[in-house]
Each structure stands twice: as C-alpha cells, then as structure tokens.
Amino acid sequence: MDDDDDRPPEPGADFGGGGGSSWPHLGPYSDGVYFLGAGATESSILGEFGWNLRPDDELRAPPGRPGPRVGGGAFDPAGASAAAGGGGGGGFGGSDPSAAGGEASTSNASDSSASEDPPEKSGSSGGKPPPETPNKVRRKGQKRIRQPRFAFMTKSEVDNLEDGYRWRKYGQKAVKNSPHPRSYYRCTNSRCTVKKRVERSSEDPTIVITTYEGQHCHHSAGFPRGGFVISRDATGLVGGRLAPLATHLDHPPFQLPQEISPPPHPPSNYLRSTQLPSSSSGDSRALQVHNLADIDQGLLGDIVPPGMRNR
DNA sequence: CGCCTTTGACCTGCGC
DNA sequence: GCGCAGGTCAAAGGCG
C-alpha cells in the first residue's frame, strides 16, 4: 500500500472487533453508558479524538445550558495529541510513533507496555508466512490496543458521510445478522491512522452508523476548520457533516429534519458515550448520537455558536 | 498515472 | 481446541 511505508505497525490496528463485540448493539443504555452533559465525560472523550473543546467566549454555551460545554473547540492537532498522549486520551499514534505509547485514558499496564514496545516486525509471529508480510505480523503476546472510538448514527441515504476528510476504503465485510455490509475506511493521509467504519443499521436501513477510531493529526482537507454540522444533503434527506470542532462555521445551519423521529428509547439524554466492551484494553469509548434531533437540541446546542443555528 | 474500490484470503480474538 | 465473526491486507481492476 502506498501508506504502508510510514504507517506504524498500528498499536491499535483494529476496531476492537474481536469477538464480535466491536459495536455492541448500539443498544440503548447498555452497561457502561455515560451520559454526556453530566460531567466531564463528554469533553474528555471528545478530546481524545482531537475534538478539543475550547471555552472560547465566542462560542460560549448558551445560557441555561449548564454543565461542561461540548463544542466550540478548535481542531488542534497539538492539543489533540496532548489530550491523547498526555491526558491519557487517545494515544492515537498519528504521525508520531512515540505518541503511540499513550493509550486511551486508563490504559492498563499490559496495554501501555505493549504499546511502548517498539513494534518490531519480527516475522516470527503467529502462523504467518514471515518475511513478505512484515506489516501484518504482530508480535505474539502483544495485545492489540484499542483506539478511542466515536460513533454516531445519522439518518442518511448516503453511506459515506462527508466529514471533510478523505478516506480510502480498505475493506468490506458482511455483518452477521445484517443484510448490510460494513465498510472500513482509513484516512488517506499517510501519517494519519484514523479509521472509520460505516454500516447501516440492521433494524433501520435508513440509519447509517459511522464509527471513527483515533484522531486526525492533520486538518481536514475539505473545510479545514469546519464545525460539527449536520445538514441536509442534496437528496433532501439528512446527511451528516462531521468535522473537527472549529471556531467558525460556514455551512448551512442545521435544520432538524422532519424525517427524523425519536428513537424508541427513552429520549432523556441527547448524547451518550459508551464504554465499549473491549476485552483487550477496555478503554475504547464511543459516543452515540441516537438521532439528529438529539444532536441538534443537545450537542449542537453547545457546539454551534449562537446565531449559527437557525432554530 | 495516481488514486480509489472491490474482493478473497488471511489473521486475531472470543465463546463454547 | 475448534469454530465463528470481525478486522485487515493486498492484488487486481476501474476511473478521472
């Protein structure tokens, strides 16, 4: 591959799929669900994805919305890595191999030790024909490291939601109990190891589940400092537009689509993060946005500067 | 020509 | 230990 050359051996090369628990079930309120807005969880988690939230005055949360702000932060690769490596967040390798040492938050000992290990490509690992596929080999006993994950659901006709970054599809798999395949994408930036998974809900094919893993070490190509905007796409359906949080928004303000209906679950919380069951490291996390209405009322309420919302 | 998607094979991790 | 499912690789082909 073109970007294999400088792609680190990926301390956390996968999504935590193992054992079919990659994405639990998007089920409502499974164990380990945290409610954003009820603590520092949201900012810390978002921070792990490089979506740093900066309490700018210009982006001050609307009055009456207590609690930590969710948005308004500028995309800050440096800050991102700081949040990642330093703050125990992310640990997403990015371009800096040394940064790979820090793993998501409460990384356990085995994880950190594993990641600290220079990922040498000994061809002598598990049953793989050694020499010619050095990238595939992972030292035996070396645990995979999960990257922090962020997932959201959008109701969209298109699978691949525009988020300002360029992605290269590297795989597609049929998903058990789902008629819809799951697609795997990797950021085309050779130094960026962010991946995303896109799949459609088996229960509601109109819902696209997008899962990001890791944090970008670069600005988006599309709209470098764009904001987190959900907007209608050309089809009239809802398309998601996701970008690192930024200081200005020049996209059409989000409009709550009529098509969106409340989820069948208790709608009390607009955004929640989930501690994804990850037997390997246990600290992969994700946020689940269960519908756009929730995003608009909740998350965007904090992210989009007042005046940018046409509601 | 470069970049992207497709697709089958392979690897890994987990549950039984 | 075995089988299954998820995740990744990489060759091949398509497209602009």
Q: Where are the domains of chain A?
A: 156-213
What is chain A's length? 311
Say which amino acid occupies A92.
Answer: F
CA distance A193 to A186: 7
Both tokens assigned to A59: 């982006």
Nucleotide nearest to A144 (CA to C1'): B12
Residue nearest to nucleotide B14 (CA to C1'): A19
CA distance A118 to A8: 10
Integer CA distances (angstroms), A237 to A57, A149, A225, A284, A294, in order: 33, 26, 25, 31, 17
The mean pLDDT of A25-52, rounded to a whole number, is 41
The mean pLDDT of A86-106, rounded to a whole number, is 35
| Cβ neighbours of residue A233 closer than 8 Å, sequence gap 6 or more | A156, A157, A158, A239
3-state DSSP percent of chain A in helix, strand and coil, to 5: 15, 15, 70
Q: Which nucleotides of B are covered by protein (CB under 7 A)?
A: 3-15
Which neighbouring-strand residues pair with A151?
A: A211
CA distance A219 to A96: 16
Q: What is residue A100's predicted lDDT score, i.e. its pLDDT?
A: 35
Going by C-alpha positions, the residue among A193, A146, A148 that lies closest to residue A41 is A148
Per the structure, the residues numbered 99 to 128 in protein chain A that have their CB within 7 angstroms of any atom of strand C are none
CA distance A269 to A289: 10
Nucleotide nearest to A171 (CA to C1'): C8
Q: Which nucleotides of C are covered by protein (CB under 7 A)?
A: 4-10
- Beta carbons of A198 and A182 less than 8 angstroms apart: yes
Going by C-alpha positions, the residue among A144, A140, A108 that lies closest to residue A124 is A140
The per-residue pLDDT for range A73-83, each reduced to its tens digit, is 333 433 333 33
Distance (Å) from CA A17 to C1' C6? Answer: 5
Q: Which segments within chain A are labelled E, that is strand?
A: 33-35, 149-155, 167-174, 181-187, 195-200, 207-213, 229-232, 238-241, 272-275, 285-288
The per-residue pLDDT for range A4-37, each reduced to its tens digit, is 333 333 333 333 333 333 333 333 333 332 323 3
Q: What is residue A219's predicted lDDT score, i.e. its pLDDT?
A: 67
- State the average pLDDT for chain A: 47
Q: How far apart are the first and last CA of chain A?
A: 46
Q: What predicted TM-score, i.e. pTM, was given to this entire model? A: 0.52
- Beta carbons of A158 and A210 less than 8 angstroms apart: no
Nucleotide nearest to A135 (CA to C1'): C9
A18 touches strand C (CB under 7 A): yes
Residue nearest to nucleotide C6 (CA to C1'): A17
- Beta carbons of A37 and A300 less than 8 angstroms apart: no
Going by C-alpha positions, the residue among A178, A215, A228, A216 that lies closest to residue A199 is A178
Both tokens assigned to A182: 């799951």
CB atoms within 10 A of CB A28: 13
A92 touches strand C (CB under 7 A): no
The per-residue pLDDT for range A125-154, each reduced to its tens digit, is 333 333 333 334 444 444 556 666 777 777
Residue A44 has pLDDT above 50, yes or no: yes
CA distance A79 to A100: 15
Fold of the A156-213 domain = N-terminal domain of TfIIb (2.20.25)
CA distance A55 to A16: 32
CA distance A34 to A285: 10
The mean pLDDT of A166-188, rounded to a whole number, is 89
Which neighbouring-strand residues pair with A152?
A: A210
